Amino acid sequence: MKNQEKPTEEFYARARRQRGAALIVAMMMLVLMGLLGLASLDSVMRDRQIAGYTSRARSALYAADAGVAAALDMVRTATLPTALAPGDCITQVLPQTNLPNGTSYQPDTTAATNNVCMLASADPCSELDASIEVGSGSTFLYTLWDMRVQGQTADGAVARVQATSQRCHAFN
């Protein structure tokens, strides 16, 4: 068996100088990893928040789209007088309607009028075989209608949609 040499004083001095260095390096690495984790968590939270805003905005837009469909149905089915001028509105007002998913639609609250109104009359109706007059002496022209609807979610997201539609109408 070999004789082992005893550690020298220099060995002990070097060991004393290095005492705790590994601990400090390990602690610095843990702090750095913790900061990276917190930054990643903050990024994920902001991404979730943005996704929530986008989802609510999309729901409000879909509700407004449902309101436009209801307004189009009003234009299609409304009984209108034969003496009609630009600016005249359908007497029936689009009601505020709650949808099953917690959204609703109503007339646009920022618009000048809550009704569906005629913008102008235009060309003769093509569905009447290009004839301007049909038997009764009435003139059939396309009319353009303006509708402004807003959709809203339960938490307050709002989307506004403006659309135009045409309808063939008999004028005297």
Q: Residue 11: what pLDDT?
A: 77
Q: Residue 115: what pLDDT?
A: 86
Domain annotation covers residue 152: yes
The pair of three-digit structure tokens given for residue 103, joined into one six-digit string: 């959204």
Q: Residue 111: what pLDDT?
A: 87
Along the 172 residues of the chain, how does pLDDT read in single tens digits?
466 777 778 877 777 776 777 888 899 999 999 999 999 999 999 999 999 999 999 999 999 999 999 999 999 888 888 788 888 888 888 999 999 889 999 999 888 888 899 999 888 887 765 455 555 567 788 899 999 999 999 998 999 999 999 988 887 7
Tally of domains in the chain: 1
User: What distance in Å separates the CA atoms of residue 127 and residue 24, rounded to the nearest whole number?
Assistant: 86
What's the distance, CA 40 to chain centroid?
27
> By three-state DSSP, how is residue 64 classified?
helix
Domain that holds residue 46: 10-171
Domain annotation covers residue 92: yes
Domain annotation covers residue 69: yes
Domain annotation covers residue 48: yes
Domain annotation covers residue 4: no
Beta strands in 16-171 (DSSP E): 97-98, 104-107, 117-124, 133-134, 138-152, 158-171
Domain annotation covers residue 3: no
Domain annotation covers residue 124: yes
Q: Residue 130: what pLDDT?
A: 47
Domain annotation covers residue 1: no
